């Protein structure tokens, strides 16, 4: 399988170049040259497969012969060692719990698969692999966990000062070893721009063997397709889900679109954002106008210029009408989000985090016109990662903190304070 740049389909590279180098030189994003629907033999058995087995078949369909079957099966089996249950919270309303991995966030799917894929692709290379990543919340912790003490790698994580929750910050600043955290004076968009600027310097990339762990990296997206298949088969046979996706950098939605291209039947997509509503505005009027991001209680969605929008446009051949026929965009503010956290708990007994609450709002809006559709809302992180907000709305002690997160609370934070100048990263390379 070859991969092309969204800015130039004539530019083709193999999987190793696409994964290890992350970004094409023309500042596009890599996409597989072909996306062929899964064969009838897969659909005959997909409901009986384990999640890792299902993931193997999906990954193989995307990657072709880029990784031998035995190696790919090992990568998937090692990476996907936890479940993603669908929980019904009301009539026609379900939550896909993606927080059962080691760092309690959906990013564990992508980070663990990516780490093992990179290790395989870099197995014959003697040079140190440097993973450079920007985070608005959970990416940093998942990547830090996935790569911690992995031989031949080091990780530099950029995060916005005050832009992640306390426990999210502890997940990426307490590991030490081959993990370095940079606390940036600026927004997530600034962090993302700093990373991209360094990747566009090809000499720098080669000198330090730079790679990215953000969703700009195609190996992050591939495993995120797995749980769409897994969620859809947890519904009654014959029911096509409406997936409601709390969205920031739009990697999750892009992965879902890839799953649909592979043949997964999906009724509709709903992109749910907070006040950082660049994509909902585009879907409304066809004008793409990124704005500086604004801080909210659903911090992982505080993205003004989502990177994966380029892939979304590519998948729809830059056809605005086609995109808006398949995707609806809805935006909500913090006051609405807070009220929904309280109401979901009161009326269903379910504890939902601020990002999932934005998804609930979007599902409710969708159900006003289509009340019998089966909505599956992606719950992307465990509520305990947003403890101050959760306890403000539900009361002290209302959210149980899993031990693997609670044990971080008293560990000392180790982070380097930097400005938002891309050259700051050079000090740590």
pLDDT (tens digit, 9 = 90+) per residue, 80-102? 999 999 999 999 999 999 999 99
| pLDDT at 317 (0 to 100) | 96
Report CA-CA distances (Å) from 205 to 154, 156, 164, 239, 278: 14, 14, 28, 47, 30
Q: Please report the pLDDT score of residue 294 as a whole number.
A: 93
The pLDDT confidence band at residue 189, using thresholds 50, 70 and 90, is confident
Cα distance between residue 382 and residue 384, in whole Å: 5
d(CA 15, CA 201): 20
Is the pLDDT at 168 greater than 90, yes or no? Answer: no
Interatomic CA distance for residues 168 and 278, integer angstroms: 25
The Cα 149–Cα 155 span in angstroms is 10
| Distance (Å, whole) CA 326 – CA 343 | 29
Per-residue pLDDT tens over the stretch 110-154: 999 999 999 899 888 888 899 999 987 778 889 999 989 888 889
pLDDT for 328-385, tens place per residue?
Answer: 999 999 999 999 999 999 999 999 999 999 999 999 999 999 999 999 999 999 999 8
What are 262's two structure tokens?
A: 């592979």
Mean pLDDT (whole number) for 1-5? 96
pLDDT at position 344, please?
Answer: 98
> Collapsing DSSP states into helix, strand and coil, what is residue 264?
coil
- Span 60-87, average pLDDT: 97
Q: What is the pLDDT of residue 27?
A: 87
Q: How high is the pLDDT of residue 28?
A: 94
Distance CA 343, CA 358 (A): 12
Distances (CA, A) of 362 to 329, 336, 337, 352, 387: 9, 11, 11, 14, 23
pLDDT the model gives residue 316? 97
pTM equals 0.91
Say whether pLDDT at 214 is over 80: no
Task: Answer for the pair 393, 166: CB distance below 8 angstroms, yes or no.
Answer: no
Confirm if 103 and 82 have CB atoms less than 8 A apart. Answer: no
- pLDDT, average across residues 228-248: 96
Strand partners, 210: 130
Confidence tier at 212 by pLDDT (50, 70, 90): confident
Q: Which residues contact 247 (CB under 8 A, 6 or more apart)?
A: 253, 271, 272, 273, 279, 301, 306
- 55-59, 214-218, 244-248, 344-348: least confidently modelled range: 214-218
Q: What are residue 212's DSSP bridge partners?
A: 132
CB of 110 within 8 A of CB of 102? Answer: no
């Amino acid at each position: 399988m070859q991969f092309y740049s969204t800015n130039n389909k004539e530019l083709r590279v193999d999987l190793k170049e696409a994964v290890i180098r992350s970004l094409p030189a023309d500042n596009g994003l890599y996409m597989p040259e072909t996306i062929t629907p899964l064969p009838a033999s897969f659909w005959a058995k997909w409901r009986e497969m384990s999640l890792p087995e299902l993931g193997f078949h999906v990954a193989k369909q995307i990657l072709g012969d880029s990784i031998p079957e035995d190696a790919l099966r090992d990568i998937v089996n090692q990476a996907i060692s936890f479940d993603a249950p669908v929980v019904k919270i009301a009539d026609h309303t379900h939550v896909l719990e993606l927080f059962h991995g080691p760092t309690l966030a959906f990013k564990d799917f992508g980070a663990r698969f990516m780490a093992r894929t990179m290790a395989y692709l870099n197995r014959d290379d003697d040079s140190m692999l440097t993973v450079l990543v920007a985070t608005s919340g959970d990416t940093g912790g998942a990547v830090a966990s996935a790569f911690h003490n992995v031989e031949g790698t080091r990780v530099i994580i950029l995060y916005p000062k005050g832009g992640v929750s306390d426990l999210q910050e502890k997940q990426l600043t307490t590991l030490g070893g081959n993990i370095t955290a940079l606390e940036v004076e600026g927004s997530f968009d600034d962090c993302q721009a700093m990373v991209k600027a360094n990747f566009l310097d090809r000499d720098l990339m080669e000198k330090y063997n730079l790679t990215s762990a953000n969703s700009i990296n195609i190996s992050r997206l591939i495993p995120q397709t797995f749980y769409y298949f897994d969620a859809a088969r947890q519904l009654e046979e014959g029911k096509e889900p409406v997936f409601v996706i709390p969205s920031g950098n739009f990697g999750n939605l892009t992965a879902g679109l890839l799953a649909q291209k592979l043949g997964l039947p999906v009724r509709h997509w709903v992109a749910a954002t907070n006040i950082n509503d660049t994509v909902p505005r585009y879907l409304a009027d066809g004008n793409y106008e990124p704005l500086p991001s604004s801080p909210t209680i659903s911090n992982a969605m505080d993205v003004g210029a989502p990177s994966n929008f380029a892939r979304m446009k590519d998948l729809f051949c830059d056809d605005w009408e086609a995109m808006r026929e398949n995707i609806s965009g809805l935006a909500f503010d913090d006051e609405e989000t807070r009220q929904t956290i309280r109401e979901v708990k009161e009326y269903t007994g379910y504890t939902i985090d601020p990002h999932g609450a934005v998804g609930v709002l979007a599902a409710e809006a969708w159900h006003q016109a289509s009340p019998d559709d089966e909505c599956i809302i992606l719950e992307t992180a465990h509520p305990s990662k947003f403890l101050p907000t959760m306890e403000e709305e539900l009361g002290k002690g209302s959210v149980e903190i899993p031990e693997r997160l609670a044990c971080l609370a008293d560990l000392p934070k180790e982070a380097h304070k930097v400005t938002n100048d891309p050259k700051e990263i050079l000090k740590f390379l």
